[in-house]
Structure 1
Amino acid sequence: MSTDAQQDSEEFHDWQRWHEGRIVAVAAPHGPLSLTGTHWLADHPEGRIPAVPGLWREDGDEVVLVATPEDGLTVDAEPLDGEVRLGADRGPVDASRVAQGDRRLVVLSREGLWAVRDFDPQSPTRQAFRTVDATPYDPKWSLDGTFRPYDSDRTVRVENADGRERGLGLSGEIAFTVDGAEHTLQVAVEPDGSLWAVFADTTSGKSSYRFRFLRPPAPDGDGRVRVDFNRTLLPPCAFADHFICPFPPPGNTLTVAVPAGERNRIDG
């Protein structure tokens, strides 16, 4: 198919809408570019987090926040004067329980450790952002794949972007063919049945970010799944240094180049 024909195809226009939507989501006031810090409470036993108002401490399976009116914090859109007990925020960032004006203070839990994430729409990274560099849609990289579930879920320890090692759950692998050779990626299964892979390839750290995400849809009843590398995603840590994205597990570094999908963040 010629380049002109590719760019007139329905698939290309679907991809273009997806790409434009991604740019809007990334640049949103509380998108990943606005994250200015992930503060682990274990690193602040006195309860004071630099540049974050209030007094924060762990208490078993909750976080206790104490604030005065001078802190300017709200919880559930009501001014906080005193103490409140918080669980982890599970929803969108802009729906977090704790805020200070436009800032959102998101409570996070990972492997029994608690943190507070600070999302500020005025972050320098968000102000500098221009776009996401992505390769235009190429039908060559929309592949037929097969999902092969494991007999039981597995957890492997992998390094994360913040230098700490954490567990990564894996439920199976997807197999697909590139230039006549079969390749596989280990994947997690999301609650809605869709798949998630963290992978690298021979472009990683060169013409694309050091690793990327792939989110295929749920397989059909026979395990068939569309492996569309045109929709390869940059991980959140490509947009802000304070995310804790997992690195690819062993076996998820492809021996081929994948010149498709999102490649890098571009600042103005």
Structure 2
Amino acid sequence: MTAAETAAESWQRWTEARAAAVSAQHGPLALTGTHWLGPDPEQIPGLPGEWWAADGVVRLDAKAEYGIRLESAAAAGALDGEVSLRPDTDPAPERATLGELRLVPIEREGELALRVFDPDAPARAAFAGIDTFPYAPDWAVAAVFTPFESGDRALTVPNADGKERPLAVTGQIAFTLCGEEYALTVSRSGGRLSGVIADATSGHETYRFRFITLPAPDADGRTVLDLNRAHLPPCAFADHFICPFPPPGNRLPLAVEAGERHVVTG
């Protein structure tokens, strides 16, 4: 935020950037499938070749005529023969393309899958924006982060696909909202903090849960929780994402009438 820009103007730019990001050519709305792979070669609906998981990578038996190319080296020609694609958890992940499709290998808890992003996805075509509550400065409050004394923890929580998976958390933020004191469990993402929350609006006035992101805390743990920027998780835009549900204690008893509410379709 620039010196001359108000908090409301900064929030407005944020909402516009959010809508642009989720509706981008290969943004969340373009995800049409997450295909989990086993050790035996198999066909993925709508894609040529055979795909499987082996030795921590996604394997593909391709022919040049299929037209599948590495996204980072499309000019090198189409893939031919048996090739490996490193997943998103690898320090040097690899993605492929097939025409306008983007093919993204992912790894979650040792399991490998291929995600397919299609710019012609019906959800992307139907997108008409993100419904938000009006900006209100009272929803931005001071918070203090305290890391867990024992270090990061892994809490097992349900995910949007029905499975339970560990969620890495690093501590809690404490804050006062509407005259009451609260605490939320959060994770550290780079220097910033992030969390998964629900409140009294979840599941009817808003999506069933939302994500929050906080600036990196200072040396004393001070940061800001701005619930005007509570945002929809990826699974609100496509069913094929596997978002974590809020961990225990992260359901606020009050109605947080701030931030993103629902996806709007035309």
Q: TM-score range by the shorter chain?
A: over 0.9
Q: 1:134·1:263 contact (CA, 8 Å) conserved in 2?
A: yes
* Counterpart AA for 2:194: W
Match of 2:223 in 1: 225
Q: Secondary structure at the match of 1:265?
A: strand
Does 144-153 or 53-62 show the bigger shift?
A: 53-62
Q: Secondary structure at the match of 1:50?
A: coil
Query: Which among 233, 238, 244 is matched to residue 240 of structure 1?
Result: 238
Query: Which among 58, 61, 64 is matched to residue 63 of structure 1?
Result: 58
Post-superposition CA distance 1:161-199 (Å, at most 9, x none): 0111111001001111112111111000112x1001001
Instruction: In structure 2, list runs of 5 or more residues that go unmatched.
Output: none
Corresponding position: 1:83 with 2:77: no
Q: 1:96·1:105 contact (CA, 8 Å) conserved in 2?
A: no
| Pair 1:146–1:74, CA change in 2 (3 A) | same
| Structure 1 position 72, deviation (Å) | 2.0
* Counterpart AA for 1:228: D
Query: Which among 24, 36, 44 is matched to residue 40 of structure 1?
Result: 36
Match of 1:164 in 2: 163
Q: Secondary structure at the match of 1:22?
A: helix
- Number of aligned residue pairs: 256
Match of 1:145 in 2: 143
| Pair 1:24–1:90, CA change in 2 (3 A) | farther
| Structure 1 position 142, deviation (Å) | 0.5
| Pair 1:169–1:90, CA change in 2 (3 A) | closer
Q: 1:48·1:56 contact (CA, 8 Å) conserved in 2?
A: yes
Q: 2:89·2:107 contact (CA, 8 Å) conserved in 1?
A: no
- TM-score (norm. length: structure 2): 0.92
1:175-254 matches, within 5 Å, as: 175-191=174-190, 193-254=191-252
CA distance in 2, matches of 1:24, 1:230: 18
Match of 1:27 in 2: 23
Percent identity (aligned): 51
Q: 2:207·2:262 contact (CA, 8 Å) conserved in 1?
A: yes
Query: Which among 250, 260, 263 is matched to residue 262 of structure 1?
Result: 260
* Counterpart AA for 1:23: A
Runs of 4+ off more than 4 Å: none
| Structure 1 position 204, deviation (Å) | 0.1
Does 158-167 or 54-63 show the bigger shift?
A: 54-63
CA distance in 1, matches of 2:95, 2:153: 33
CA distance in 2, matches of 1:121, 1:184: 40
| Structure 1 position 256, deviation (Å) | 0.8
Match of 1:124 in 2: 122
RMSD of aligned Cα (Å):
1.7
Q: 1:56·1:63 contact (CA, 8 Å) conserved in 2?
A: yes
